[in-house]
């Protein structure tokens, strides 16, 4: 008999028991999806990101209840190198190890180049790019000590192609692919891999929040907004899901992916095949 396999079941093989994973920006969206997928595979997780403390507490408790793993939280601000250093030090001190680092925290701002606010440029470069430099340089010693490590950078289709009005985001995401390659080369003989995942549009609360507004602004239906505005560049005309990105992060964290390093893997329904 053919029993359909749900995505969650694929990660339930518990291949990551005993591993400790830190996911930046994991209080919502893709980061939370990745943290839950890693926890489903048995890893203890450290959450990070902005949000109401009670809600973050509930998210953390839910992960413990659903997957029987440890889950802690760091409020570190990814635009501040000092907070990042404290977060990595506290993680290694408390857990005694750090095996999987997912650099996911990210923000966006849309404006033409001449009007792009300088402070927004600085903030996007700090959160979307420099934070990954800081977390990685500080996490590598703990990974080297165990001869095992996985660094997964959440880039974007915008790491591979540009779009108008997104100068800082596109520059930061292209930059993180460069950082991914250098990290992979410097760690290649040490059981450590570093890869970038490049999603197209992923269905997150952030995306959902745009649909009704765009429908009103353009005077079109929700379905038209999704197909003709948001997914205009995405040939398969469907959003990727946080579960799909989570499953890929789990796979990249396993021994099966030991030879995959330095890549930028599109998960974009064909967008960058154009
Ligand atoms: P989101 O807004 O739901 O999540 C962003 C996370 O980053 C949140 O947890 C937020 O609290 C955290 N964050 C923001 N600023 C921070 C700071 N200064 N310090 C610490 N944490 C901070 O967005 P998302 O859609 O889940 O995006 C997550 C990542 O995926 C981003 O890097 C984004 O560029 C990338 N991405 C998203 C999509 C998409 O369609 N949603 C597509 C491609 C790439």
Calculate the alpha carbon distances from 173 to 124, 223, 232, 267, 273 in Å.
Answer: 10, 29, 20, 15, 18
| φ, ψ for residue 9, nearest 5 deg | -65, -30
CA-CA distance, 47 to 26, in Å (whole number)?
A: 5
Q: Which of 22, 23, 24, 31 most suits a substitution to test ligand 1, by most atoms within 8 Å of the C-beta?
A: 31
Residue 113 CA neighbour count, 13 Å, CB half: 5
Structure confidence at residue 10 (pLDDT): 47
- Residue 127 Cα to ligand 1 midpoint, Å, equals 10
Q: Tell me the sheet residues that pair with 264.
A: 196
**Radius of gyration of the chain, Cα coordinates, nearest whole angstrom:** 18
| pLDDT tens per residue, range 22-40 | 999 999 999 999 999 999 9
CA-CA distance, 162 to 114, in Å (whole number)?
A: 17
Task: Using DSSP, state whether 20 is helix, strand or coil.
Answer: strand
Locate the ligand 1 atom nearest the alpha carbon of residue 169 and give its number: 34
In order of start, what are the domains of the chain with their CATH numbers? 20-201+241-273 (3.40.50.720), 203-238 (no CATH)
31 Cβ closer than 6 Å to some ligand 1 atom: yes
Structure confidence at residue 159 (pLDDT): 98
Average pLDDT value for residue range 71-93 = 98
Q: What are the start-end ranges of the H helices in the chain?
A: 7-11, 29-40, 53-67, 81-95, 118-125, 131-146, 167-187, 205-218, 222-224, 242-253
CA-CA distance, 181 to 149, in Å (whole number)?
A: 15
225 and 49 in contact (C-beta within 8 Å)? no
Asked if the model's pLDDT at residue 8 lies above 80, the reply is no
Helices 81-95 and 131-146 sit at what angle, rounded to 10 degrees? 20
| pLDDT tens per residue, range 231-260 | 999 999 999 999 999 999 999 999 999 999
Sign of CA dihedral 141, 105, 245, 90: positive
Structure confidence at residue 210 (pLDDT): 83
| pLDDT tens per residue, range 114-159 | 999 999 999 999 999 999 999 999 999 999 999 999 999 999 999 9
- Residue 1 Cα to ligand 1 midpoint, Å, equals 41
- Residue 245 Cα to ligand 1 midpoint, Å, equals 13
Q: Which residues are catalytic?
A: 169
Locate the ligand 1 atom nearest the alpha carbon of residue 155 and give its number: 44
Q: Tell me the sheet residues that pair with 194.
A: 151
Q: Which of 31, 55, 106, 160 most suits a substitution to test ligand 1, by most atoms within 8 Å of the C-beta?
A: 106
- Residue 206 Cα to ligand 1 midpoint, Å, equals 9
Q: What single DSSP character describes residue 3? A: P
Nearest to 201 by CA among 228, 172, 230: 230
Locate the ligand 1 atom nearest the alpha carbon of residue 201 and give its number: 40
| pLDDT tens per residue, range 185-232 | 999 999 999 999 999 999 998 788 889 988 998 999 999 999 999 999
Structure confidence at residue 214 (pLDDT): 87
78 Cβ closer than 6 Å to some ligand 1 atom: yes
């Amino acid at each position: 008999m053919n029993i359909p396999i749900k995505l969650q079941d694929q990660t339930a093989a518990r291949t990551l028991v005993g591993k400790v994973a830190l996911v930046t920006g994991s209080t919502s969206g893709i980061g939370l999806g990745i943290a839950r997928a890693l926890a489903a595979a048995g890893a203890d997780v450290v959450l990070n990101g902005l949000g109401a403390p009670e809600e973050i507490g509930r998210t953390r408790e839910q992960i413990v209840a659903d997957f029987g793993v440890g889950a802690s939280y760091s409020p570190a601000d990814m635009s501040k190198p000092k907070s990042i250093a404290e977060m990595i030090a506290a993680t290694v001190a408390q857990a005694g190890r750090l095996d999987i680092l997912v650099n996911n925290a990210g923000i966006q701002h849309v404006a033409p180049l001449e009007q792009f606010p300088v402070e927004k440029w600085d903030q996007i470069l700090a959160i979307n790019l420099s934070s990954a430099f800081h977390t990685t340089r500080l996490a590598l010693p703990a990974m080297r000590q165990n001869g095992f490590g996985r660094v997964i950078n959440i880039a974007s289709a915008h790491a591979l192609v540009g779009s108008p009005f997104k100068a800082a985001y596109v520059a930061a995401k292209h930059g993180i692919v460069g950082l991914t390659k250098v990290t992979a080369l410097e760690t290649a003989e040490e059981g450590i891999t570093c890869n970038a995942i490049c999603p197209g549009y992923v269905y997150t609360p952030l995306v959902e929040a745009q649909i009704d507004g765009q429908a009103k602004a353009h005077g079109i239906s929700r379905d038209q907004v999704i197909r003709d505005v948001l997914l205009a560049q995405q040939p398969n005309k469907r959003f990727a899901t946080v579960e799909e990105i989570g499953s890929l992060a789990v796979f990249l964290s396993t021994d099966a992916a030991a030879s995959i390093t330095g890549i930028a893997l599109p998960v974009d329904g064909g967008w960058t095949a154009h």
